[in-house]
Amino acid sequence: MRKILFLLVLFFSISSCSLQNNVLKQVSNSKQTKLSEVFKNPGKYEVQIIYSRIIKKDGKIDFKDFKYRVEPEAYFYPASTVKLPVAVLSLEKINELNKEGIKIDKNTPYHLENDSIEHTIANDIDAIFAVSDNGAYNRLFEFLGQDYINSKLRAKGIAPVRISHRFSGEGSGAIVTRQMIFDTENGNYEMPVTNNKTADSLKIQNVIKGVGYMKDGEKVPEPFSFELKNYFPIETQHNLMKRLYFPETFEESNTFQLTDKDKEFLKEAMSRLPRELDYDETEYYDSYGKFFIYGDSKERIPSNIKIYNKVGYAYGTLTETAYIKDVENDVEFLLSATLLVNENGVFNDNDYEYDEIGIPFMAELGREIYKKELARKK
């Protein structure tokens, strides 16, 4: 009898300790109205969250991961978060071309075939992170091609993933890339076009959503299919961020092959605010592309808080993956989350609850995790 009582006490003690240590479980029980509305019905909002506590000890780095409803097979539309791997791989590809004797860099001017406007990969990457520019992403997509993107990510263990299309306009899913012409010191370098594989339909959960969608101004009373859309699960995004900011915790073959200057440039681009690139602050305020902690405010972000991130929002789905650092209080953590806010179940009608539910939830989630990390340091 005593043995049974002892085992029961031990079981409940372990369960209690586990509950106390599950930070996201604590957050999900929050009475904060910006959180409680979503956490009361997480299935409806398709919430998925990963938070990583960064542990540094004896010169080594480790992570303690906390997950909430994370399921790679449960599809959500990643929107502009796919711009993150495309930006990183563009820098890596430049290094590969250099090794082949092709002397271009991120500041080398280029233009697309049948287009006289000049761009640089550096400017494209800046625009991707500052204001999530679709045109900049599309041009880098042409530079890489979808087969290259997917094979490189999978080779690094960044999976599951399937990047299959550009954004906006006709030909967004074209399998043949447009030619890019770089204006080098030794004359023009014409990038060979690539012929990529046609995307297969995704065979996972939740790729068919809702009760209808808008097409050519008319409502189609059928669920909307995401079977041919980009696929970039929240855990895949989170693991990519780990590789970017803590590459020493992975085998070299599983990291991005970037120079020190590449890494510095990328980190600056990911944390830079629109006003620092001379965008109109009234339209592109500090939190324009930073939902965690500050998304529900148009005030300036304090200079001691650095948010290295990428957000995405489309079809009623908001997603963010971020490495957040408070340089004054020695606080740092990784946080990635997604949720769907589409009350009427109709897609492509631009009637989503981003401002009412989605962004306030993401901002409060970031604040809750930040407060817990701050308390750990005291």
Higher pLDDT, 260 or 18: 260
Residue 341, C-beta contacts closer than 8 angstroms, at least 6 positions apart = 45, 316, 317, 318, 352, 353, 354, 356, 357, 358
Give the per-residue pLDDT at 7.
Answer: 42
Mean confidence (pLDDT) of the chain: 94
What SS3 state is found at 207?
coil
Structure tokens at 313: 């929002």
Higher pLDDT, 95 or 8: 95
In order of 269, 313, 359, 360, the CA distances from 33 in angstroms are 33, 22, 13, 9
Indicate if the pLDDT at residue 169 is higher than 50. yes
Give the per-residue pLDDT at 18.
Answer: 42
| CA gap 54, 33 in Å, rounded | 28
Structure tokens at 321: 């993956």
Q: Averaged over 107-120, what is the pLDDT?
A: 96
User: In terms of CATH architecture, what is 26-377?
Assistant: 3-Layer(aba) Sandwich (3.40)
Give the per-residue pLDDT at 21.
Answer: 60
pLDDT confidence band for 14 (50 / 70 / 90): very low
Q: Averaged over 9-13, what is the pLDDT?
A: 38
Indicate if the pLDDT at residue 19 is higher than 50. no
Q: Averaged over 93-105, what is the pLDDT?
A: 97
Is the CB of residue 250 less than 8 Å from the CB of residue 97? no
| CA gap 63, 330 in Å, rounded | 16
Indicate if the pLDDT at residue 12 is higher than 60. no
Give the per-residue pLDDT at 202.
Answer: 98
Give the per-residue pLDDT at 11.
Answer: 40
- Structure confidence by residue, pLDDT tens digits, 289-325: 999 999 999 999 999 999 999 999 999 999 999 999 9
pLDDT confidence band for 170 (50 / 70 / 90): confident
| CA gap 39, 228 in Å, rounded | 30
Give the per-residue pLDDT at 377.
Answer: 80
| CA gap 9, 372 in Å, rounded | 28
Give the per-residue pLDDT at 10.
Answer: 40
| CA gap 351, 343 in Å, rounded | 8
Single pTM value for the model: 0.93
